[in-house]
Structure 1
Amino acid sequence: MKYSLLLTTLVFSLSWNTLSAEDVTHSFLACGQKTYIMDDQGKMSWTYPSATRDGYVLEDGTIILTLNKSKRYGGGAVVRISSDGKETLVWKGTQSEVNSAQPTSNGTFVITEAGISPRLLEVDAEGEVLVEFPLACQKKNHHMQTRMARKLPDGTYLAPHLLNFAVFHYDSDGKVLSTFDTTVPGDSEHEIHTWPFTAIRHGDGNTLVCCTHGNRVIDFDAAGKVVWTLTNEDLPGDWLQDPCGSQVLPNGNIVITSYAGGRVDPQAPKMFEVTPAKDVVWTYSDGQKVGIHHFQILTSNGQRLTQPPQK
């Protein structure tokens, strides 16, 4: 496969954490219409021949991918690819879509299925179901039910529900513990119902949420109050165009993927990194109109990031 790729590094003099006035480089796994690993020199080191929604590279080199529905897997699937290239099936979707699969430190996988009976599952390495409960989301539009569900260290789960305009926090029995409303406040005529896509628990109980419809990224504190917001007004251009995935780096910076970032301008960033002060320190463009659904930053300036990634 050949792709038209452009890797652009923006250099700023920053004082945030250990960042200095030097080029920032990342290698990363990209999941979307094309699935690949990009090295820190802008070259593809690995590709996969199917579209994906979510993915992880584990410390031993194993790659976990959530596959889009296809002729091969009509309800989507989760596969494991070992470092020698051998592929095994972890989970075959039973409904409309499989939308995420998070590997846990215990060797299990947290999976969401969309369909008539939307549900969250946690399965072991052989696919045996250990946890299962229904998701409290709308059932009419399967595709817009949920996306990046994640298990937290305390054994509870976060699941963004797009057309419910909220991130739901569940216990292991499926009880809703709390919700994070992503609606932009205003009167009835000016409220914006934004669709949460990725929710990341980080810091002292904060929850970072990418909202696709509405083009913003927001951070809730532990009490559920919005304490940080990123919009296109904070950026050099209208770079937030359907922001889907994100990752909080160890230094506190945030990398965001803008799925439709190239629809208006083909050279607009598909991914970019900002500091908490909203300074841009890295961008990646691929010349495509749409593409990257989610990702995992693997190395920064040649240093491998610690596991598990906050994504």
Structure 2
Amino acid sequence: MKKSAATDAMQSRLFLCWSSLLLAVATFITLSMYGELACAAEDAAVQHSFLGVGLANQAVIVGEDREVEWKFEMPASDGWVLPNGNVLLALYGTKEFPSGGIVEVDRETKEIVFQYKAQQKETSTVQPLPNGKYLLAELGPKPRALVINSQGEVVKSTPLQCQTDNAHMQTRMLRVLPNGNYLAPHLFDFAVKEYNPDTGEVVRSFATDDRGREKRDWPFTAIRLKDGNTLIACTNGNRIIEVDANGKIVWSVTNDDLGEDLFDDACGAQRLPNGNTVISSYHAKGDAVKLFEITRDKKVVWRYSGMNDGFHHFQILTTNGKPVQENTWK
């Protein structure tokens, strides 16, 4: 019995549909395999160990094998592994530290060997200084930068010029510069300000609202680089910018540049000695990428997807078995 022309046409259409479907499936599988291979290639080339803070009620040290090597169950927003091996943390408020504070923790015993309890609403950051001193940001009605000595005494207090309506959003990642000045990112002020610590004078200010304040480019981390530029992580704006001494943006990176959505609340950042930048995505959950490293030409060379929550900040400790020396760039 001969087939009709209509039957032949229908079979041709079915063949084309099935061919298109099979091609689409094959393409999807190929792209997926390519993505996995690309990630595997990244992982094979670069391995980091790091301190991570800002998780739910804990700070962790993760090894290059991506396994948690150390855990301390207190809520921290900033931290450092010190040369003596101890861990220095800035704490959120707890029963023992109602307004937050700072602690130095013996890494082996997990005993607190030094502590300071803040006096206002919140403690956002800490940085170790020479001679056993510490710099911290104390937030509240009178936001200020404090220097504490090893006896827990305030030896210097510098007022910070920022809004006082929302203490939590006053400042993050306060850092001392090589010239002795302080660099403070003020989130709701959309500005990174450099202070003279003796007078409290703002000697320079870098705005982050060039795209309009609705973009929520709140500065969270600001790093003064060796060439004098300043690297700024812009939290909810999901971008990193680098500005020159006049505040002009000379480099920036967003998800559009990467071709994938790795930025998800860009809080922490660290510029590595090789010029690459590591960035944290605080809002990342589950299997999403929490930390990633990019080159100057915006190529992703390392990513970390462990833990269930993202990190407020971090400190890269080693790369491929070698200690990272210049850890002030965070």
Instruction: Name the TM-score, length of structure 2 as normaliser.
Output: 0.83
Q: Secondary structure at the match of 1:73?
A: coil
Q: Does 1:228 align with 2:289?
A: no
Q: Secondary structure at the match of 2:132?
A: coil
Deviation at 1:82, TM superposition (A): 2.6
Q: Aligned partner of 1:302: which letter?
A: G
Deviation at 1:238, TM superposition (A): 1.5
Q: Does 1:184 align with 2:210?
A: yes
Which of 288, 292, 299 is the aligned partner of 2:318? 299
Aligned to 1:17: none
- Greater gyration radius: 2
Rounded to whole Å, the distance in 2 between the matches of 1:294 and 1:10 is 25
Task: Give per-residue Cα distances to partners, 1:190-249, cap 9 Å, x unaligned.
Answer: 863410000011121111000112111100112321101111101242211111111111
**Structure 1 residues 287 and 106, CA gap change in structure 2 (3 angstroms):** closer
Q: Does 1:24 align with 2:24?
A: no
**Structure 1 residues 293 and 274, CA gap change in structure 2 (3 angstroms):** same
Residues 204, 222 of structure 1: 8 Å contact kept: no
Q: Does 1:196 align with 2:215?
A: no
Aligned to 2:32: none
Q: Aligned partner of 1:11: which letter?
A: A
Q: Does 1:154 align with 2:179?
A: yes
Deviation at 1:10, TM superposition (A): 4.7
Aligned to 2:304: 284
Q: Aligned partner of 1:182: which letter?
A: T
Rounded to whole Å, the distance in 2 between the matches of 1:102 and 1:192 is 29
Identity %: 45
Q: Superposition pairs for residues 92-171 of structure 1, below 5 Å?
A: 92-171=117-196
Structure 1 or 2: more strand by fraction: 1
**Structure 1 residues 28 and 108, CA gap change in structure 2 (3 angstroms):** same
Residues 113, 119 of structure 1: 8 Å contact kept: yes
Rounded to whole Å, the distance in 2 between the matches of 1:99 and 1:276 is 29
Q: Structure 1: any 5+ residue segments left out of the alignment? A: 1-7, 13-20
Deviation at 1:129, TM superposition (A): 1.6
Aligned to 2:103: 79
Residues 316, 327 of structure 2: 8 Å contact kept: no
**Structure 1 residues 134 and 10, CA gap change in structure 2 (3 angstroms):** farther
Q: Secondary structure at the match of 1:11?
A: helix
Task: Give per-residue Cα distances to partners, 1:118-143, cap 9 Å, x unaligned.
Answer: 11111112222222121100001111
Rounded to whole Å, the distance in 2 between the matches of 1:101 and 1:113 is 10
> Of the two structures, which has the highest relative contact order with CA contacts closer than 8 Å and spacing of 6 or more?
1
Give the count of matched residue pairs: 289
Q: Does 1:272 align with 2:292?
A: yes
Aligned to 2:236: 213
Rounded to whole Å, the distance in 2 between the matches of 1:225 and 1:300 is 32
Residues 182, 193 of structure 1: 8 Å contact kept: no
Deviation at 1:100, TM superposition (A): 0.2
Aligned to 1:58: 82
Q: Does 1:69 align with 2:93?
A: yes
Task: Give per-residue Cα distances to partners, 1:252-279, cap 9 Å, x unaligned.
Answer: 10000000123xxx32210000001100
Q: Secondary structure at the match of 2:230?
A: strand
Rounded to whole Å, the distance in 2 between the matches of 1:191 and 1:116 is 26
Residues 184, 192 of structure 1: 8 Å contact kept: no
Residues 191, 208 of structure 2: 8 Å contact kept: yes
Deviation at 1:50, TM superposition (A): 1.2
Rounded to whole Å, the distance in 2 between the matches of 1:305 and 1:153 is 19
RMSD: 1.8
